[in-house]
Amino acid sequence: MPIQILAVESQPFAENSYVVWRDGGSEAFVIDPGFEPDLILEALADRGLTAAALVCTHGHSDHIAGNADLKAAFPDAPLLIGAGDAPMLTDPELNLSAAFGMAVTSPPADRLLKGGEKITLAGIELEVRDIPGHSPGHVVYLIRETTPLMVLGGDVLFRGSIGRTDFPGGSFPELKRHVERVLWPLPPDTVVYPGHGPATTVGHEKRTNPFLR
């Protein structure tokens, strides 16, 4: 059955959360719940879906702000994040919300992920890949069963840009090296669903992205 993906944009940072489910299924997983969790809850309810898991690409506040509300609505849904960013969930200084006067905290992770492992959520298999550089423990999720392949990419690669590397724990050389190692070998038509802005493809960014040439 085809895999469906819905982008839900949350303000004030125009952050993309994603609801991902198998067509005809009753469960979904949610990627990076942002500052407007009600929009995600409405999207799930409108489609008759329950959240089987809450999955974070990294721990910055705009990508975890909705975790508490989603977890309250779906207490059995595990919260997953890369091991390197797990401390950010519960620490407003580390997740950068304190600097904006917001003091965002999330429930702690139920499961810590590491690059190279495979997980199955809502009947969909994801490959976890490490791409640090925007944050120390940033991971992306690769879905291979679709045509073209799909990458749920967080703040690693945008259409014509990349994630900021000037935050604490960031590193442009690290980001560039891991993008070239993890994403560039994928087929050119692989679709990347980023944490901000429109979707793009590996081939388009490999040819034209001014930061990664």
Residue 95 is assigned to a structural domain of this protein: yes
CB pairs under 8 A, 24+ apart, for 88-93?
A: 88/58, 88/59, 88/60, 88/64, 88/135, 89/56, 89/59, 89/64, 92/61
Query: So what's the pLDDT on residue 1?
Result: 77
Q: What are the backbone angles phi and psi of residue 134, rounded to the nearest 5°? A: -80, -40
Q: Please count the structural domains in the chain.
A: 1
Residue pLDDT tens, the chain, 213 long: 799 999 999 999 999 999 999 999 999 999 999 999 999 999 999 999 999 999 999 999 999 999 999 999 999 999 999 999 999 999 999 999 998 888 999 999 999 999 999 999 999 999 999 999 999 999 999 999 999 999 999 999 999 999 999 999 999 999 999 999 999 999 999 999 999 999 999 999 999 999 998
Q: What whole-number distance in Å separates Cα of residue 63 and Cα of residue 82?
A: 13
Query: In sequence order, what are the beta bridge partners of 191?
Result: 150, 201
Q: Exposure pattern of 126-146 as b/e (b: 16+ CB <10 Å)?
A: bbbbbbbbbbbbbbbbbbeee
Q: Which two tokens stand for residue 129?
A: 């890949």
CATH of the domain at 158: 3.60.15.10
Q: Which two tokens stand for residue 5?
A: 């993906």
The answer to whether the beta carbons of residues 165 and 133 sit under 8 Å apart is yes
Query: So what's the pLDDT on residue 151?
Result: 98
Residue 132 is assigned to a structural domain of this protein: yes
Query: So what's the pLDDT on residue 85?
Result: 98
Query: So what's the pLDDT on residue 147?
Result: 95
Q: Name the residue range of residue 32's domain.
A: 3-208
The sheet carrying 15-22 orders its strands as 3-10, 15-22, 27-31, 50-55, 79-82, 111-113
Q: What whole-number distance in Å separates Cα of residue 151 and Cα of residue 138?
A: 13
Torsion of CA 163, 165, 169, 173, to 10 degrees: 110
- The continuous run of DSSP H or E covering 199 comes out as none
CA 195 to chain centre: 6
pTM here is 0.96
Residue 213 is assigned to a structural domain of this protein: no
